[in-house]
Amino acid sequence: MRILLAEDDEPLGRAVRAGLVQAGFSVDWVRDGVAAWNELSVTPYHAAVLDLGLPRQDGITVLRRLRAERSTIPVLVLTARDAVEDRVAGLDGGADDYVVKPVDLVELAARLRALIRRSAGQSTALLESAGLSLDPAARSVQLDGTAVALSPREFDLLHVLMLAGGRVLTREQIEEQLCAWGRELESNSIEVYVHRLRKRLRPELLRTIRGVGYAIGGSAP
């Protein structure tokens, strides 16, 4: 799951990024509001962690611009502003969650998973499809009740496909959702990981729609 972190405090930004990466997220980190807006307006992130006190353009302005453009990306505001009026302004401005610094990084990761889950229309923590069960918090997978060992990249690919709920994703869409800056995949990597997943699961669970992309479960249109 690819996250944008907008935080201008260098030590805090490094710590938050490291904690989220350890929790299994791919994280792009920007340090001002203009950069945050530029990235959020063109990149399909699963969620954003947004400080309000950003230079060049404050976080509440970025948030309101996003919602004015009808962006539905889940936004978690992470800020030192703890006054009730600030919380109200953030939530009314379009934030999906509002967390006051300092924050436990395990809790932050859990809140992000909950936001992403709700954004994808999932009511439970587990993602399930045709005998598959994926637990994002434990980063574990079961097939028909039996644990399946996956590499981190195989797990991430399966997670992206299951979040799509059967919708077809192109290779480019999958790559955008998997890779933070500087972690570009080789040209045939998605095909390789799909092949490996088919061997570890059941081949029919991952559909290839020729000339379009990949989907989890169901039957080809």
Class of domain 127-216: mainly alpha
Rounded Cα distance, 114 and 217, in Å: 23
Q: Note the pLDDT of residue 220.
A: 39
CATH 1.10.10.10 domain residues, the chain:
127-216
Over the stretch 69-83, which tens digit does the pLDDT of each residue have? 999 999 999 999 999
Higher pLDDT, 30 or 123: 30
**Residue 24 backbone phi and psi in degrees, to 5:** 105, 5
Question: What burial class does residue 70 get, using C-beta atoms within 10 Å of its C-beta: 0-12 exposed, 13-18 middle, 19+ buried?
Answer: exposed
Q: What are phi and psi of 26, to 5 degrees?
A: -95, 130
What does the alpha-carbon distance between residue 151 and residue 196 come to, in Å, rounded to a whole number?
10
175 HSE (CA, 13 A, CB side): 16
- Give the residue range(s) of CATH 3.40.50.2300 domains in the chain: 2-119
Architecture of domain 2-119: 3-Layer(aba) Sandwich (3.40)
**pTM as predicted:** 0.83
Band (185; pLDDT cuts 50, 70, 90): low
Contact status, residue 150 vs residue 24, Cβ threshold 8 Å: no
pLDDT tens digits for 118-169? 988 877 889 998 899 999 999 999 999 999 999 998 999 999 999 988 899 9
